[in-house]
């Protein structure tokens, strides 16, 4: 801390997810007295939920390709992610006793495949740094002179405030989007919060639901609005889930908002072209059942065959070429996307135009924002957590610098 400070600067962080905890960490290391406020009974609940899937922290792809995953938001998220890069996040996890490794898909995981050991180590460190935690505290607004108000009637004064309230996905874990009305009431532009990385709704036959709900469609390709992605999906009772679906969330939302439904094209054998697939089919006698031909020649799983039958009329497929073509152009009629409370993440949030280079709200000096409450969208694969950690660090740095300058100015007095 600068020698001219008359007292330690103070900081309040509202929201105890990865972004908020990282901001608190940075601020405490800069010498601020930091208190983290969380409306839930405990911290990091969504982070722990992510750990149930193995805790995909980040991704190992080159930084230029990495940033493209954020589409238009890469322009303002990019500097923060470059300052706290995927390599930096891995080093940070290693420093907390959780060595990481790169999986076959390029995703980065801790070797324990859990979030709880990392969170425990981090909370011990924050305690040693003097960070205080106040749980079961719902932030309600600012009062006079920037005083923070909470639902129990308490009022808190701090030199700076970092908002890390998340989006609106999985609200039972803490982030419910209730902050939107508070910020819009202050004239802050907020794009509507919508579901991202969510499953889609489509109609399956009773047989497909009964036999194959929960079964994977492996090594497929999806095409929508001119974009094609490869990956896996899972058949659900009401539609499709999984990484390949989540990767086209943005396109799905746009298509559904325009017409209320859309055709999602599935390629069930993207590793073979039509002629190669037709040649394989020709080697299996037509006297065998269609299912056997698809299984033996095309290597189709029972669940893939069932999906194909639900979407294609076999009577219209007369030649091997037509059959091969139909396997690569299955049209799934999507009628909706799962609700935001069942989505992995949300898109929308505080507009980039409202946020300065150090993640301070330009209309509210001393208020910094980070994490999923910002208007960005990204697929699963480590991109969500990486942006939360990186923007949390950037907001913490901005808040620490602002607070110290404010206290130093007060200590120096008027010229």
- Spans in the chain with pLDDT lower than 70: 1-6, 409-415
In the chain, the N- to C-terminal Cα span, in Å, equals 22
Residue 406, pLDDT score: 82
Report the distance separating Cα 184 and Cα 173, nearest Å. Answer: 23
Residue 24, pLDDT score: 98
What is residue 226's DSSP assignment?
T
Residue 352, pLDDT score: 97
Domain parsing of the chain, residue ranges:
10-196+341-412, 200-337
Report the distance separating Cα 139 and Cα 118, nearest Å. Answer: 27
**Which parts of 165-229 fold into alpha helices (H)?**
179-184, 206-212
Contacts for 360 with CB less than 8 Å, ≥ 6 apart: 366, 367, 368, 369, 395, 398, 399, 402
Report the distance separating Cα 308 and Cα 304, nearest Å. Answer: 6
Q: What predicted TM-score, i.e. pTM, was given to this entire model?
A: 0.90
Residue 51, pLDDT score: 77
Residue 412, pLDDT score: 53
β partners of residue 223: 228, 265
Contacts for 398 with CB less than 8 Å, ≥ 6 apart: 356, 358, 359, 360, 368
Give percent above pLDDT 90 in the chain. Answer: 85
239-241 and 336-337 beta bridge pairing? unpaired
Per-residue b or e along 352-366, where b marks 16 or more CB atoms closer than 10 Å to that residue's CB: bebbeeebbbeebeb
**SS3 state of residue 72:** helix
* Tokens describing residue 266: 């599935």
| pLDDT tens, position by position, 30-87 | 999 999 999 999 999 999 988 787 899 999 999 999 999 999 999 999 999 999 999 9
For 283-344, strand residue ranges (E) read: 330-334, 336-337
Identify whether the C-beta of residue 228 lies closer than 8 Å to the C-beta of residue 221: yes
Q: What are the φ and ψ backbone dihedral angles of 334, each rounded to 5 degrees?
A: -90, 130
For 52-210, strand residue ranges (E) read: 58-59, 100-102, 107-110, 132-135, 139-142, 148-150, 155-156, 160-163, 190-196, 200-201
Q: Which CATH class is domain 10-196+341-412?
A: alpha beta
């Amino acid at each position: 801390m600068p020698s001219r400070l008359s007292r330690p600067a103070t900081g309040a962080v509202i929201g105890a997810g990865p972004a908020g905890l990282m901001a608190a960490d940075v601020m405490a290391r800069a010498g601020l007295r930091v208190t983290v406020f969380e409306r839930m009974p405990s911290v990091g609940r969504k982070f722990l939920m992510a750990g149930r899937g193995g805790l995909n922290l980040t991704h190992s792809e080159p930084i230029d390709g990495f940033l493209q995953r954020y589409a238009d938001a890469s322009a303002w998220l990019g500097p923060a992610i470059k300052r706290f890069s995927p390599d930096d996040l891995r080093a940070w996890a290693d420093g907390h006793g959780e060595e990481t490794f790169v999986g076959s898909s390029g995703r980065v995981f801790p070797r324990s495949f859990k979030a709880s050991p990392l969170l425990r180590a981090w909370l011990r460190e924050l305690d040693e740094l003097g960070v205080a935690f106040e749980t079961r505290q719902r932030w309600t607004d600012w009062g006079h002179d920037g005083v923070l108000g909470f639902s129990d009637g308490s009022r808190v004064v701090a030199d700076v405030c970092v908002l890390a309230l998340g989006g609106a996905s999985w609200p039972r874990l803490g982030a419910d989007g209730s902050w939107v009305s508070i910020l819009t009431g202050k004239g802050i532009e907020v794009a509507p919060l919508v579901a991202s990385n969510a499953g889609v709704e489509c109609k399956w036959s009773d047989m497909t639901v009964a036999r194959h709900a929960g079964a994977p469609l492996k090594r497929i390709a999806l095409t929508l609005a001119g974009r094609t992605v490869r990956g896996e999906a899972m058949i659900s009772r009401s539609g499709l889930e999984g990484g390949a679906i989540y990767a086209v969330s943005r396109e799905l939302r746009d298509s559904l908002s325009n017409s209320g439904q859309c055709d999602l094209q599935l390629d069930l054998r993207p590793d073979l072209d039509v002629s190669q697939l037709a040649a394989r089919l020709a080697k299996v006698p037509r006297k065998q059942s269609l299912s056997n031909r698809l299984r033996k020649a095309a290597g189709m799983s029972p669940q893939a065959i069932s999906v194909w039958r639900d979407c294609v009329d076999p009577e219209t497929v007369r030649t091997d070429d037509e059959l091969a073509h139909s396997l690569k152009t299955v049209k799934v009629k999507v009628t909706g996307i799962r609700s935001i409370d069942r989505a992995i993440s949300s898109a929308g949030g505080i507009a980039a135009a409202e946020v300065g280079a150090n993640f301070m709200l330009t209309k509210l000096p001393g208020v910094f924002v980070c994490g999923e409450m910002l208007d960005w969208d990204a697929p699963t694969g480590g991109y969500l957590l990486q942006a939360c950690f990186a923007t949390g660090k950037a907001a913490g740095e901005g808040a620490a610098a602002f607070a110290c300058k404010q206290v130093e100015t007060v200590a120096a007095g008027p010229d």
